[in-house]
Every structure is written in structure tokens, then in C-alpha cells.
Amino acid sequence: MPVGTLATVKGVPQDVLEELGAEIILSNTYHLYLRPGVEQVRKLGGLHSFMSWPQAILTDSGGFQVFSLNDLRKVTEEGVTFRSHLDGSAHFFSPESAMQAQIGLGADIVMAFDECTEYPADEARARASMELTLRWAERSKRYFEEHKQEVPWTNATLISSHARTGFLARSGEHGPPVGVETPPVGCNPAPIQAEATQALFGIVQGGMDPALRKESAERTVEIDFPGYAVGGLSVGEPRHVTREIVEATLEHLPADKPRYLMGVGTPEEIVEYANLGVDMMDCVLPTRAARHGLLFTSEGKISIKQAHYAGDSGPLDPNCGCRVCRRYSRAYLRHLYASNEVLAQVLNTIHNLSFYLDTMRAVRHSISLGK
């Protein structure tokens, strides 16, 4: 899932995202809550309508940003008090208010409010944090079940929007996005599923302790969600630990429901995690790296700012068919980056996203071939 923090994948128009084959993007509840505000988005019909993106959207719970962007946060049983990174103003997220925000934003998939356990954490701390996340998961689900009908879109608007942009035709080819309630494959807009709402996923925590991860997974599954995320990783631990914890967690999550690994990774890592059974991943790496001139290619990583590309008339990646590699030379991309031109960010991001989405298409193809 490309990351579109503020209801925009930085620098990339929505039609280009569609052309790249992005079927779902992630937006950040914390950022949208601060700007433009949940109520504003809700009144405009939710994120799909607000950003003109009829494909699927997932919003995170806000928990990770509250923890990673706030040194002054205060956690209680009730929730988290934090300060805006924009103006220092004080705010409070509870499982209930985080769910309320995500229902108002109206993404297709929403996440239970969790505490992202810091790294390193000792056993007692990791257990206490895990227990808190479990209690918050129950509260998240309870609030969601009681309020899920308040989502700003109705089925009618959602389906007509999908039909307008050919979403249904694409669903017919590839199947609906995991965990998203869409009309039956290949059908006409009718019959409408009158009861369709958002899908709430639970999040497994438990630090770097496989036993805690097992317990967290089992007890989260007991609460019962239509999909499960593995949280609390990529927080500074060594990569081999990430892999061990992913493996230790996945085996306790049902394989017939989406398993979502949050916040990873490099192209090599997403292949590896998919191979372990992960169905969904999100990461800022392709988009953030692009803004720093770091480009992923079939021949390895390239830092386009390097002077030796200044006279290189070849394509960025000779094996890539994206609109950037089809049209522009390394020399031109290097010039744009060195001159601090906005088009550098636009083109670099398009290419990196294309590379990531191609990687996942190759993974899906291998799966369909039984490899």
C-alpha cells in the first residue's frame, strides 16, 4: 500500500496512481485529524470523495504517530494525551475517539487503537503494553460495532462512484481488495449490499518476545476481527528479529483472513514477508526515498544525485516499463534532483511506486502459479 499521509501520495496525482495499478492506499488518521480535521472530511463524504480516490483506503489508528511524533505523550488506561507536531496544541486519543475519527474519515479498512510498544522493552513492560492493547482492541471493537453505521458514505454513493471509474470492471479481473466489502465479482452495481460498512482490523503487539506475540495473536483472534495486523515492528530492532517475530506471530493468525504487516519494508523484504504469508504491507520507503533521490531498480538501488549520472542518457531502469523509465534519462532525472526541481520528486516517486507495485504483482503471479 502506497502511503498517502495527508490524503495525497506526495506529488502523485490520483490518475497516475490508478495507472500504476495501486488498488489501495494508506492514510494517516493522526495527520488528517489535525489537518484538515475529521469533521471536514466527513462533511465532504469521507476520504474517497474528499481526495477523489474510489479505490480502497486503509487508515491507521493514529497510535503509531502519537508515539513516534510526540515526546510529551502521556498514556493512561483511558487513552493518550499528546501534542500536535504542528502547533503544540494538546489532544487526546482513546480507542473510542480514534474509532470515531476513522469512521468519520470513512476508509474501507480501519485499525483498532493500539499502543506501539517501544524497542527495547523488558518482559514486564512488553506484557503490560500488550495487555493494554488487548483492552483497547475490545473497546475499539465495541465502539465500532455501535457506531459503524455512521460512516459518511452510503453503499449507493460508494458503488456509483466505483462504477463511474471502472472500479467494478477491475474488480472483475483481479478480485476485490482483501477485507473490503465490495459487490460480488463481475456483477452489475445491483444487488447492493445494504449493510456494507468499514472493516475493522485488530493489531497484535507483544514486543520481541515470541511467547507474548503468540498470546497477543490468540487473544486478538478471540476478540474476532475480519483481518489482523502485526504491529510494533520496524521500531529499531535488527532485521533478523523482525523476521523471527513475524514468523512467530503469523502462525497464530488465521490464514484465511488478511494478515497485515505494518510499516515494512525494502523490496527484498516485502517479497520475503509475502513468502512467509503476509498479505498486506505499507511503507513510506518508496515515496520517502524517492524524495531523497534514492531509486529502486532491477539492478539495485541508485542515488540519482551522484555526479556520474549527469551525462548518462540511459533509462533509470532498463527493465522497467513505467512512464518515467519509458521517457526520461538518468541525466535528466539527475539534473532535476540537483536543481531541486519539483518534477524530480514527482518522477522519482512514480518510479519507486511502480517498482514496488511491480514487485507485488510478481509475488501474486508466483502465488497464482503455485510457486
Residue 222 CB neighbours (<10 A): 11
CB nearer to a second copy: pick between 31 and 127: 31
In whole angstroms, give the CA distance from residue 249 to residue 259. Answer: 10
Over the window 52 to 91, marking each residue x when it contacts a second copy by CB under 8 A and - when it does not, the resulting string is: x---------------------------------------
The x, y and z cell numbers of residue 155, run together, are 453503499
Per CB under 8 A, the segment of 146-154, 187-195, 197-205, 322-330 that binds a second copy is 322-330
Q: How far is the CB of 337 from a second copy (least distance, A)?
A: 11
Comparing CB distances to a second copy, the nearer of 1 and 281 is: 1
266: left (phi over 0), alpha (psi -120 to 50) or beta: beta
Query: Which one-letter amino acid corresponds to residue 265?
Result: G
- Axis-axis angle for helices 342-368, 267-276 (nearest 10): 30
User: Based on CB atoms, which residue is closest to a second copy, 32 or 121?
Assistant: 32
Indicate whether 8 belongs to the interface with a second copy (CB under 8 A). Answer: yes
Q: From residue 316, how far is each of 43, 290, 356, 357 by CA, in Å? A: 43, 13, 15, 17
Strand ranges (E), the chain: 24-27, 56-59, 74-75, 80-83, 90-93, 109-111, 199-204, 228-230, 259-261, 280-281, 294-297, 300-303
Under rule CB under 8 A, residue 342 binds a second copy: yes
Give the nearer residue to a second copy in terms of CB position, either 142 or 323.
323
Contact between 36 and a second copy (CB under 8 A)?
yes
Does the annotation mark 60 as catalytic?
yes
312 catalytic? Reply is: no
7 binds a second copy (CB under 8 A): yes
| Interaction site with a second copy (CB under 8 A) | 6-8, 10-15, 35-36, 40, 43-45, 49-52, 310-311, 313, 323, 327-329, 331-332, 335-336, 338-339, 341-343, 345-347
What is the set of active-site residues? 60, 282
